[in-house]
Amino acid sequence: MARLFGTDGVRGRANDQLTPELALALASAAVSVLGAHTQTRPRVVVGRDPRASGELLEAALCAGLAAAGADAIRVGVVPTPAVAFLTADYRADFGVMISASHNPMPDNGIKFFAAGGHKLADDVEDQIEAAMEAEQVRPIGAAVGRIVDATDAADRYLEHLAQAVPSSLEGLTLVVDCAHGAASVVGPRAYEAAGAKVIAIHADPDGLNINDDCGSTHMDKLQAAVLQHGADLGLAHDGDADRCLAVDSTGAIVDGDMIMAVLALAMHESGDLTDDVLVATVMSNLGLHLAMKAAGIELKVTGVGDRYVLEELRAGGYALGGEQSGHIVIPAVGTTGDGVLTGLLLASRVASTGKRLAELAGVMTVLPQELINVPVSDKHAVSAAATVLAAVAEAETELDGQGRILLRPSGTEQLVRVMVEAQTPESARGIAERVAAVVANV
């Protein structure tokens, strides 16, 4: 049987693959694993993004928690990082976020956080899956769990964000694209509380419009709004607000790599960048590597996925890491990626230096990148084929240190991804197409 948990919790089309019955079973199993060591009744934080199916999944999860003897603390519509923070702040035994992040509305997902707000290790997820198959004795009477609403959840999270902002945003005008998602309420409030003038767009969720042609996966409307309002910068979040991408005052996109470069240099200057190390994935642009090397900062590289970034950050005690997609992690102030926090810190850097975002992001020159997804029958066998390895080696020789090629099997589909960075778009495209043709013919 296929593993239930994927790279970021359990996801699927809501009420189809991800049913209320599955949510109830997951919740009860999670109590038996994550609440097993508590001396009192387990307490669980439950949050969600605004998509309509979140309502029925929240009801099912809370029912499953209560049926297993745990108290559910409903925090309502909040960002994923808020659930991680509140799990620690309420001293709960674990937390649950109902969201499919940047995925379209019909999808949804269930993500667990351990005590303290940390993501679960693979083996703990496996224990939860195994517990779903075991017969469980349900409590009765006073031992049945209760469900309560936390009316101060958003305020607690906003206070946490306020304490993390190093300088006022007074004088800045921000356009914030909330993706009709979980940032729609707390995002604008956080930026305004820090002193900025905020123009919020796509901040009217109706349960159906989350990520619909807006947010961090559709940046064109934010670019237009920044130019229209003459804003200092724009910030784009995804559906659950754990990511942040930016737009500078000229309308140019500032991606996660460039944001990491700006924040790494700021932390390097202040002495807060532990061991002068930045953690990023193999998908980060070569331009980030070159910029960090020039600044005397070591770039440690992980596999694709925020969980691998988190593992490296925790293992080395490092202070900053993230992904090109805008998922940035700063362990000193959060246990997972926090898009609103990232936006606050980026805007704070603009305010404190008096420099435009374009100038700050200009420390990194993005090399042209070409990515081709090649459908195959066996992604692992194809990736290891002799002809493919030879084609990659030939490409590396041609690039001669002035670019790079990355070939990797997809984590979720029968695809081999061919990514090439080179000095010109034409060179990147030509090499990528040539290697992709070899992959397709294996």
SS3 for 291? helix
Q: What is the CATH number of the domain that holds 382?
A: 3.30.310.50
155 is in an annotated binding site: no
**Per the structure, how many domains does the chain have?**
3
Percent of the chain exceeding pLDDT 70 equals: 99
Instruction: Answer yes or no: do 140 and 203 share one domain.
Output: no
- Give the span between the Cα atoms of 53 and 45, in whole angstroms: 18
Give the pLDDT mean for 411-439.
Answer: 91
Query: What does pLDDT average to over the chain?
Result: 95
The per-residue pLDDT for 413 is 76
Q: What is the pLDDT of residue 160?
A: 97
Reply yes or no on whether 101 is catalytic: yes
Question: Model confidence over 302-313: pLDDT tens digits?
Answer: 988 888 999 999
> Looking at 32, 53, 99, 101, which residue is catalytic?
101
**Are 289 and 184 part of one and the same domain?**
yes
| DSSP states of 43-76 | EEEEEE-S-THHHHHHHHHHHHHHHTT-EEEEEE
Domain identity same for 145 and 171? no
The identity of residue 438, as a single letter, is V
Q: At 153, which helix (H) or strand (E)?
A: helix 153-164
Q: Are 192 and 168 in contact (CB under 8 A)?
A: no
pLDDT of residue 307: 84
Specify the pLDDT at position 40: 87
For the record, the structure tokens of 24 come out as 């109830």
Is pLDDT of 315 > 90? yes
For residue 242, say whether it is annotated as part of any ligand binding site: yes
User: Residue 1: what pLDDT?
Assistant: 55
Q: How far apart are CA 193 and CA 162, in angstroms?
A: 7
**Tens-digit pLDDT profile for residues 39-63:** 789 999 999 999 999 999 999 999 9
Tell me whether residue 32 is in a domain.
Answer: yes
Of 361, 396, 418, the domain-final residue: 361
Output b/e per residue, 63-89; b: 16+ Cβ within 10 A: bbbbbbbbbbbbbbbbbbbbbbbbbbb
Question: What is the model's pTM?
Answer: 0.91
Query: Has residue 211 been placed in a domain?
Result: yes
Same domain, 172 and 212: yes
Percent of the chain at pLDDT > 90 equals 88
> How many Å apart are CA 212 and CA 102, to the nearest integer?
10
For the segment 381-404, the average pLDDT, to the nearest whole number, is 92
Q: How far does CA 250 lie from the centroid of its chain?
A: 26
For residue 305, the model assigns a pLDDT of 82
Both 116 and 185 in one domain: the answer is no
In this predicted structure, the answer to whether residue 124 has a pLDDT above a threshold of 60 is yes
Domain at 352, CATH number: 3.40.120.10
> What local confidence, expressed as pLDDT, does residue 412 receive?
64
Residue 240 marked as a ligand binder: yes
Q: Which two tokens stand for residue 404?
A: 């790079």
Average confidence (pLDDT) over 349-359: 97
Residue 284 pLDDT class (50, 70, 90 cuts)? very high
Using the predicted structure, report yes or no on whether residue 142 has a pLDDT greater than 70: yes
Residues 38 and 130 in one domain: yes
* Residue 4 forms part of a structural domain: no
Average pLDDT over residues 357-371: 94
Which parts of 194-275 fold into alpha helices (H)? 220-229, 256-270
Identify whether residues 355 and 387 lie together within a single domain: no
pLDDT band of residue 352 (cuts 50, 70, 90) is very high
> Do 252 and 357 fall into the same domain?
yes
* 376 lies in the same domain as 328: no
Question: Tell me, what's the pLDDT at 137?
Answer: 83
In a domain, 42, yes or no: yes
Phi first, then psi: give them for residue 331, nearest 5 degrees. -55, -25
Cβ contact 40:143 at 8 Å: no
Please compute the mean of the pLDDT values over residues 228-246 and round it to a whole number: 98
Same domain for 188 and 310, yes or no, is yes
Does residue 396 lie in a domain region? yes
Could you give the dihedral angle defined by the CA atoms of residues 428, 431, 434 and 436, in that order, rounded to the nearest 10 degrees? -60
32 labeled part of a ligand binding site: no
Please, which contacts does 121-129 make with residues 24 or more away whose CB atoms are closer than 8 Å?
122/5, 124/33, 124/34, 125/4, 125/5, 126/3, 126/5, 127/33, 128/5, 128/26, 128/29, 128/30, 128/33, 128/34, 129/3, 129/4, 129/5, 129/29
User: What pLDDT does 37 receive?
Assistant: 84
Say which amino acid occupies 173. T
User: Is 1 part of any domain?
Assistant: no
Asked if 324 and 380 sit in the same domain, the reply is no
pLDDT at 425 over 60: yes
Report if residue 2 sits inside a domain.
Answer: no
Calpha distance 29→132 (Å, rounded): 5
Which range marks the domain in which residue 68 is found? 10-152
Answer with the one of 107, 131, 152 that is the final residue of a domain. Answer: 152
Among 327, 361, 395, identify where a domain stops: 361
